Structures are given as C-alpha cells and as structure tokens.
Amino acid sequence: MEKVTRICVLDQPLFKVFLSLKDPRVGGRCLYPLINIIFITLCALIAGCDGWKAIEAFGREKIRWLSQFINCENGIPSHLTFARVIARIDPKLLEGCAREWFQQIYQLEMWDIINFDGKTACASGHVNGDKKNMHLVNAFSPKHNVALGSERVSEKSNEIKAIPVLLKELNIAGTIITSDAMGTQRGIANLIRKKQAHYVLGLKENHKRFYRYVEATFKKADELNYQNMVSGDKKTNDYGHQRIEDREYTILPMMYFFKHEKNWRDLQAVVRVKSSTHRLQKNKDDESAARYYITSIPFKMCDKMCEAIRAHWSIENKLHYKLDVGMHEDDCQIYRGFADQNFAAMRKIVLALLEKEKSYKAGIELKRHKAALSTRYLRKVVGF
C-alpha cells in the first residue's frame, strides 16, 4: 500500500517538488510525514476549508479518499498539529517549491507580460501580539492566471526592496515587466534590462521633475496638434462592471525626453493614457484621468506598450480580487509564526489549480463548493 501511495504522489508534479521541502520538526519523532500535512492542507483548501479546524474536519471525513494517495495508517493530524507545522516551515523554501512547480507547468514566452503589485491581507495581523497585517508583493502572469512568486515586506512603502528580490529569482528574459509608480526606480529598470526583459513603469510625482517635464511635453504636443512630430496613438473601448471606459494612448519616442533618457536604462518611449469612465448606475459621476508610463519597448511596437498597460490591472482583477472573494484571504485570521505567509502561498497554488481546471465553468467559490461535494471533481482539480 505504501509503495503504491508513493508512486501516486510522485506522479503529480506539484507534490513531487514538495518532497524536497525541509521538515522543521525533529527527525524520527514525527507521527505524520510532512507531505501528508501539505497534501491534506491543499486538498482541504481546494474544498473550501480556510482554517485549521476545518482542515482537520475535512481530513477526518475524507480519510478513505485521502488514503488512495498518502499513507493514513496513523490517522489525520489534529488542527493544532496542522497549525504548528505550517507555522514552522521556512516560507522561503515553501515559496521556492511553489515557484518551481509554476515554472514546470507554465512556460513564459517572448513578450509575455508579468505584473508586479502589492497586496495586504487585512485580517492577518494581531494587535496584542504586535504583528502587522501581512503585505506581499506578487508577480502575476495574466496569460496563465497564476502568481509566479511573492515576497513579503513589512509595509507597502518597502515594495521597492521586494521587487528586485523577485526579479532576481524569476526567469524573466524576453518578457515585459509592469509595475505601478512604486516600482518606478532606476535600479529596478536597470535590473529588468540586465535580465533581458522590457519594462513598462507607471510615472507619478514621486519623480517630480521628470513627471512635470513629461506633462509639459505632452501639453505642448497637444497645442501643436502633433504636427511635424513623431508619435503613435491607439484607442480602446471596454465595457464591464456597469461602466464603459474609453482609453486614448499617445506615445512619444525618447528623442523628446533626452534630458532624462540617461537616467533610465534603454528608455525608448513615454506613453500617456487618457481614460474616461462612464458609470451606468444612477448617482455615479463620470470620471476622467491621465496617466503616464515609461518603457524600454521599441517605439515601433506601440501595440505591445498598450497591451502591457491594459494588462497591468489584471493583477487586481484576476489575482487580488479572486484571493479575497474566492479564497477569503482578507477574512483569514491565521497569523502565528510563518503560518500567514505559508498559507498565502498555498492559497495561490490552490487558485492556480482551480483556474487550470476548465471542465466546470464557474467562479472560484463555486468550484471550491463543488470540490467539497464531489471527490471526483476534487481529484480532477488536484491533478490525479
């Protein structure tokens, strides 16, 4: 029975990478193998269990089903054991296992887009224990709907330190890296180009002189109606969430920004996006805004610039929103040790598994509900 179980686990790429995860417990005194705890936790998360007691209850109810894949001769760990072990696992090692699995399953190609942005788990702090809410910087592939990696920071203002760490750990050659203004730093742009990727970075008043120069340049170009100027433009129209949004992209090459070109490695163009949003609900005012982006993408590839700018918001809609609504991340009060960070990594793995399963056309929450009701569907999501 044990031999069959081991082959079953190794046949699944995800659990194969977890077999290399270092067990934080004292060797020879463990009743439950680490792979059992990881496997049960992930299956329970898929089935909608968001806390330790729920995970234990899932394990006890599904022990016969779980025994097809892992050795359950010693039964199911208690919720205290789940909590204690997950809290002690080195989050860097767990994140590394997840990243290895993502890279095995999802192959990034030339001009694929990777979005970088931060997210705070609102219920993960503890006032009495003086522990702040967890803030993670995520790298997200909108093409594959998967988080490629995460890095924890003490607070939002420290995202600048986390982005280079993630960039160094990911294979980004040939891709387009997008970030909001927090990631618009000369060192980050330099690192992206050093790793043979392109950047599209939001420009705001955290670079006051450059921002004002860009604003003035576009204003002057508008007054001249772009006569005798090299420029590019594109218009898009989107409908969704009870609103219509029109975007107008205007691209000027680096020749108009030569005063600042030397500060940004391989700067090729600056993009202005003028958006107007018409809300269909009553008592909702229309909105308009202008945003600016700097990019190393060659000027002649205007469509790639516009695609990357539009795709950047995918990290909010396809990752952060689904983590909150489908995976209930903002309601999760797990915080002891490294449990919050490790649980966050597991949530992203589960979200990727649920997104990858296409036979049931439904949202993440409904897919989790179905997995709780049907072990056949749960097995399909897990990949066995």
Bridge partners of residue 198, in order along the sequence? 176
Confidence of residue 3 (pLDDT cuts 50, 70, 90): very low
pLDDT score, position 252: 95
Residues 154-166 pLDDT 10s: 776 678 899 999 9
The torsion of the CA quartet 12, 14, 20, 25, rounded to 10 degrees, works out to -110
Q: Give the containing element (helix H, strand E) for 178.
A: strand 176-179
What six digits make up the tokens of 28? 């020879």
Q: Distance (Å, rounded) from C-alpha 147 to C-alpha 352?
A: 8
Residues 180-236 pLDDT 10s: 999 999 999 999 999 999 999 999 998 999 999 999 999 999 999 888 778 887 777
CATH 3.90.350 intervals, the chain: 98-321
Of 35, 78, 84, 32, the closest CA to residue 58 belongs to 78
Taking domain 98-321, whether its CATH number is 3.10.360 is answered by: no
pLDDT score, position 7: 46
pLDDT score, position 242: 66
Confidence of residue 4 (pLDDT cuts 50, 70, 90): very low
Q: Give the containing element (helix H, strand E) for 247.
A: strand 243-253
Considering the chain, what percentage of its residues have pLDDT values greater than 70?
A: 91
Q: Which of 17-26, 233-242, 302-311, 337-346 has the lowest mean pLDDT?
A: 233-242
pLDDT score, position 1: 39
Q: Which of 5-9, 97-101, 324-328 has the lowest mean pLDDT?
A: 5-9
CA Rg, the chain, in Å? 23
Is the model's pLDDT at 125 over the cut of 80?
no
Residue 79: phi and psi, rounded to 5, are: -60, -30
